[in-house]
Amino acid sequence: MKISLRLLTLLLFSTLLSLLQAIEPPPKTDCIPLIIRLAGKSTKSGIALAKNPAAILTAEDGLIKLGPIYKRWSPDLETSVYSTMAEPRKDGSVPLVPKDSKAVIIFLHGSGTMKASGKNFAENMNAMRPSKVAAVGIDLPFHGDNQGSEKLKNMDNFMDWMHKFVTQVKTEVDETGRKIPIYMVGHSFGPGVIQEYIERYPKDLTNFLLMSPAGDFHPALKYTYEKVTTPGWKYLGGEPSVENAAGGEWAGQLDEQFTWPKKKPFDKIPGKMLIGALDEWWPGNKELAAKVGVAQPFEFEEPLDYFRKKYPKMDINVIPKFGHMIFEATAPNGRNLIRETIYDMVNLSEKERTPLGLSITPKERLALLYQNSPVFKEWIGDKYRHSFTDDTRTNGVLRDWESTKHEAWKKILETLPIENPEFFKAKGYSVAIATKKAEGKEPPTDTITTNLQHDLVAYLNADPKQKEQLRLSTDPETPKAISVLPQLTDREIAETKNGAVGPISLVNFEKRLLEKQASEIVKTKVGEKLVKLTFQLNGKSYENYVVDYSPEELNTKINQLYLRAHELKAYSYPGDTIEVLDAGLKWRFTIKDRKTVSTIQVTQ
């Protein structure tokens, strides 16, 4: 068969062009021109955005839920791992341990509920980040993203799995070129895992912290769980809303296989322990036993003595007025007790442990977006690995992403009022859009789009009754005055009446005390604006704290703290809780609809 020279030339040119297109060199421009993906004509991601521009809402919402915590999937362990955000490598991968870390904390969660996961410690992980204390959490088998396996129901296999995980952390530490000590911290079921691990691999850890240890390793704990805690759930807020039966069964099987209770006293590592004096899994909660109607033959000191003998060098701290959930307990200096205990354990100076607030670099933000946002990952595609060569390129990619969102918001503003007229009518967005269009201008994309992003997320997640109550919010990036509701919720009143809250201040609590006919109220000033109340209520003694502010002063104070929280990159959705340190007091308030604060707590 004869082929003309012209046809042969065309075939060769076509082949050469295909080869050249298959090679994708790193872009040479200062910023990657990804904005063209918006058109929705040439790429799958562009089409997806054009069809569903509101997907960006989910993308951004997913990014901020854990803060600067990097979540990755471990193929070897078949589970999710959560770590303190570190500066990405040039290929965009993120180290498990930041190079400048002073210590690494491995967190182990409890068991039995759907909420139990390695991400439970995100708040503490974020709070320790400015002090350069790195942290790693993991979803244990049958919890979180870990589907578990029959193999991991065997203690030896599970310990091999744990050792592989710790070895991965140690390998990352070695890559920093520095000697960084590794610690383990566990809550509830987590301490049992730590105790088993240190018996087998004592050289892996520098120290460990047990928080609210639970299990059947002591007769007092076994009896309390079976006879008091389990039937007493209705007095503790009812049955768990979502029980993780598979996770609870797995933990129960491992609990029976623990070998550490049968071993000799352990003194190779000193160890620390935090336990609430009213822990519902320990025999100290006499009031709960009385409500259940059973005699408590054991004393709180019995399992405590067991720990003292088992770990002769251990530092044990019993926390008054706290139960199993000790995460809000405070140290004598007014700071979070868990973090202060960890800082003591890793020998941080006072200057090193001073809270500095959260911040992330552009490269860290880019990596977080890629890991946590499927929409962003689809949008950037293979260009991601070329985005970390220098700061200019990274900033360019982020600018392009903002431009993409800008265009997506235009589509949302133009189309969604038709799809959700009741929402936009209530919000007033349709009026604003119509006005702009009548003037021949583009739909607004600043304050209104920011409001839209937050409000539409809340709207889509709300039930029908809540949708009717949503109101136009202020711009969360530049928050304006918010009001404070002067009353507590029924749940908080009940908790306080039962003495379950502990030494936490409830604003306007004094008024409630008088309404509940409390007697013998003794006020003691313990700070510039903090007053301790000791009182009798229903024949029992209680103590609590109130903030000595007038309603006007309180509104002013909350608004100042709210602004400060936003300066520290805090986010506020309805129902969110914001914490701010101010003059030695930790303020904790819950946002009702981003124009109203519903509850306030202050800890000295």
Provide the pLDDT confidence category of residue 2 given band limits of 50, 70 and 90.
very low
Q: In what order do the strands lie in the sheet with 79-84?
A: 69-74, 79-84, 133-138, 103-108, 182-187, 207-211, 272-276, 315-319
3-state secondary structure of 75: coil
Q: Say if residue 455's pLDDT is above 80.
A: no
| Pairing assessment for the beta strands 519-525 and 79-84 based on DSSP bridges | unpaired
In 3D space, the residue among 604, 458, 486, 455 whose CA is nearest the CA of residue 555 turns out to be: 486
Q: Say if residue 223's pLDDT is above 80.
A: yes
Give the DSSP letter of residue 264: P
Long-range pairs, 251-256, Cβ under 8 A, ≥24: 251/111, 251/112, 251/189, 253/153, 254/153, 254/155, 254/158, 254/192, 254/193, 255/189, 255/192, 255/215, 255/216, 255/217, 256/216
Give the H or E element holding residue 84: strand 79-84
Report residue 104 as tokens: 């690494």
Provide the pLDDT confidence category of residue 479 given band limits of 50, 70 and 90.
very low
Q: According to the 3-state scheme, what is the secondary structure of 429-492? A: HHHHHHHHHHCCCCCCCCHHHHHHHHHHHHHHHCCHHHHHHCCCCCCCCCCCCCEECCCCCHHH
- pLDDT recorded at residue 590: 72
Name the residue with higher pLDDT: 159 or 499. Answer: 159
Report residue 110 as tokens: 């409890």
Average pLDDT over the chain, rounded to an integer: 74
pLDDT digits (tens, 9 = 90+) for 12-68: 334 433 433 333 333 333 322 222 223 223 333 444 455 566 666 555 555 556 778
Name the residue with higher pLDDT: 359 or 478. Answer: 359
pTM: 0.67
- pLDDT recorded at residue 286: 86
- Whole-number Å distance between alpha carbons of 489 and 427: 27
Q: Say if residue 205's pLDDT is above 60.
A: yes
- In which residue are the tokens 């060098």 written? 313
In 3D space, the residue among 65, 115, 53 whose CA is nearest the CA of residue 573 turns out to be: 65
- pLDDT recorded at residue 482: 55
| Pairing assessment for the beta strands 133-138 and 207-211 based on DSSP bridges | unpaired
Q: Say if residue 493's pLDDT is above 50.
A: no
- pLDDT recorded at residue 335: 82
- pLDDT recorded at residue 566: 56
- In which residue are the tokens 């036993």 written? 289
Q: Tell me the domain boundaries of the chain.
A: 27-65+370-472, 69-213+240-283+311-345, 483-603
In 3D space, the residue among 492, 499, 599 whose CA is nearest the CA of residue 544 turns out to be: 499
Q: Say if residue 379's pLDDT is above 60.
A: yes
- Whole-number Å distance between alpha carbons of 103 and 209: 14
Percent over 70 (pLDDT), the chain: 60
- pLDDT recorded at residue 435: 54
Q: Say if residue 93's pLDDT is above 90.
A: yes
- Whole-number Å distance between alpha carbons of 321 and 276: 7
Q: Tell me the angle at which helices 190-200 and 245-257 cross, rounded to the nearest 10 degrees.
A: 40
User: How many other CB atoms sit within 10 Å of the CB of residue 267?
Assistant: 12
Q: Which of 118-127, 159-168, 310-319, 464-473 has the lowest mean pLDDT?
A: 464-473
- Whole-number Å distance between alpha carbons of 104 and 205: 10
Q: Say if residue 464's pLDDT is above 80.
A: no
Provide the pLDDT confidence category of residue 196 given band limits of 50, 70 and 90.
very high
pLDDT digits (tens, 9 = 90+) for 501-555: 333 344 444 445 555 556 667 777 776 667 777 777 666 776 666 666 766 777 7
In 3D space, the residue among 485, 457, 475 whose CA is nearest the CA of residue 589 turns out to be: 485
In 3D space, the residue among 408, 600, 594 whose CA is nearest the CA of residue 487 turns out to be: 600
pLDDT digits (tens, 9 = 90+) for 107-153: 999 997 888 899 889 889 988 988 999 999 999 999 999 999 999 99
pLDDT digits (tens, 9 = 90+) for 278-329: 898 999 888 888 888 998 999 999 999 999 999 999 999 999 988 898 987 8
- pLDDT recorded at residue 438: 55
Radius of gyration, CA atoms only, the chain: 28
| Pairing assessment for the beta strands 133-138 and 103-108 based on DSSP bridges | parallel
Provide mean pLDDT across the span 86-112: 94
Q: Could you tell me which CATH class the domain 69-213+240-283+311-345 is placed in?
A: alpha beta
